[in-house]
Structure 1
Amino acid sequence: MRDIDLRHLRSFLVVAQKRSITRAGAVLHLTQQAVSTHVRQLERSLDVGLLVRTSRGVLLTAAGEELAAGGANVVDDVDRLAARVRAVADAQTGTLRLACCPAATTLFAIDVADTMEKTVPGLRVTLNGARNPRQELELLTDGHADAAFMWLPVRDVGLHTAVVRTDPRAVALSARHPLAGRSGLTLADLADAPVLRPDVLTSPEAERFWLMDPRPDGGPAPRGPVVPQVEDCLLEVGRGRGVWFAPQPLDTLMPAGNVRWIQVTDAEPFDLAVVWTDRAPQSLITRLIAEVRSVVGDGRHVHAA
Structure 2
Amino acid sequence: MSDIDLRHLRSFLAVAKERSMTRAGTALHLTQQAVSTHVRQLERSLGVVLLVRTSRGVLLTAAGEELATAGATLLDDVAHLAERVRAVAGAQAGTLRLACCPTAASMFAVEVADALEAAVPGLRVTLNGVPTPRHELELLGDGRADVAFMWLPIGGTGLHHAVVRSDPRVVVVSTRHPLADRPAVTLADLADDPVIRPDVLTSPEAERFWLADPRPGGGPAPRGPLVPSVEDCLLEVGRGRGVWLAPQPLHALTSVGNLRWIPISDAEHFDLAVVWPDRAPQPLVTRLIAEVRHVTGHDRRHHAA
Q: TM-score, normalised by structure 1?
A: 0.67
Tell me if the contact between 2:92 and 2:120 (Cα under 8 Å) persists in the aligned partners. no
Map 1:261-276 → 2, pairs under 5 A: 261-276=261-276
Residue type at the aligned position of 1:217 = G
Query: CA separation in 2, counterparts of 1:261 and 1:255?
Result: 12
TM superposition shift of 1:92: 6.5
Structure 2 equivalent of residue 135 of structure 1: 135
- Residues 287 and 92 of structure 1, relative CA distance in 2, 3 Å threshold: closer
Map 1:218-237 → 2, pairs under 5 A: 218-237=218-237
Structure 2 equivalent of residue 150 of structure 1: 150
Work out the percentage of aligned pairs sharing the same amino acid. 73
Residue type at the aligned position of 2:201 = L
Structure 1 equivalent of residue 279 of structure 2: 279
Structure 2 equivalent of residue 182 of structure 1: 182
Structure 1 equivalent of residue 159 of structure 2: 159
Structure 1 equivalent of residue 108 of structure 2: 108
Structure 1 equivalent of residue 193 of structure 2: 193
Query: 5+ residue gaps in structure 2?
Result: 1-90
Query: CA separation in 1, counterparts of 2:170 and 2:255?
Result: 13
TM superposition shift of 1:93: 5.0
Tell me if the contact between 2:155 and 2:202 (Cα under 8 Å) persists in the aligned partners. yes
Instruction: Name which one, 1 or 2, has greater alpha-carbon Rg.
Output: 2
Q: TM-score, normalised by structure 2?
A: 0.67
Structure 2 equivalent of residue 240 of structure 1: 240
Query: CA separation in 1, counterparts of 2:166 and 2:138?
Result: 24
- Residues 129 and 178 of structure 1, relative CA distance in 2, 3 Å threshold: same
Residue type at the aligned position of 2:192 = D
Query: CA separation in 2, counterparts of 1:125 and 1:273?
Result: 18
Structure 2 equivalent of residue 82 of structure 1: none
Query: CA separation in 2, counterparts of 1:255 and 1:184?
Result: 21
1:118 has 2:123 as partner: no
Query: CA separation in 1, counterparts of 2:134 and 2:297?
Result: 25
Structure 2 equivalent of residue 68 of structure 1: none
Structure 1 residue runs of 4 or more that deviate by more than 2 Å after TM superposition: none
TM superposition shift of 1:252: 1.1
Tell me if the contact between 1:132 and 1:230 (Cα under 8 Å) persists in the aligned partners. no
Higher relative contact order (Cα pairs below 8 Å, separated by 6+ residues):
1
Query: CA separation in 2, counterparts of 1:245 and 1:167?
Result: 12
Q: How many pairs were matched up?
A: 211
Query: CA separation in 2, counterparts of 1:271 and 1:241?
Result: 27
Structure 1 equivalent of residue 169 of structure 2: 169
Task: Report the RMSD for the aligned CA atoms in angstroms.
Answer: 1.4
Structure 2 equivalent of residue 30 of structure 1: none
Residue type at the aligned position of 2:266 = D
Residue type at the aligned position of 2:145 = A
- Residue-by-residue CA offset, 1:193-248 (whole Å, 9 max, x unaligned): 00011000000000000000000000000000000011110000000000000000
Query: CA separation in 2, counterparts of 1:286 and 1:294?
Result: 13
Tell me if the contact between 1:97 and 1:128 (Cα under 8 Å) persists in the aligned partners. yes
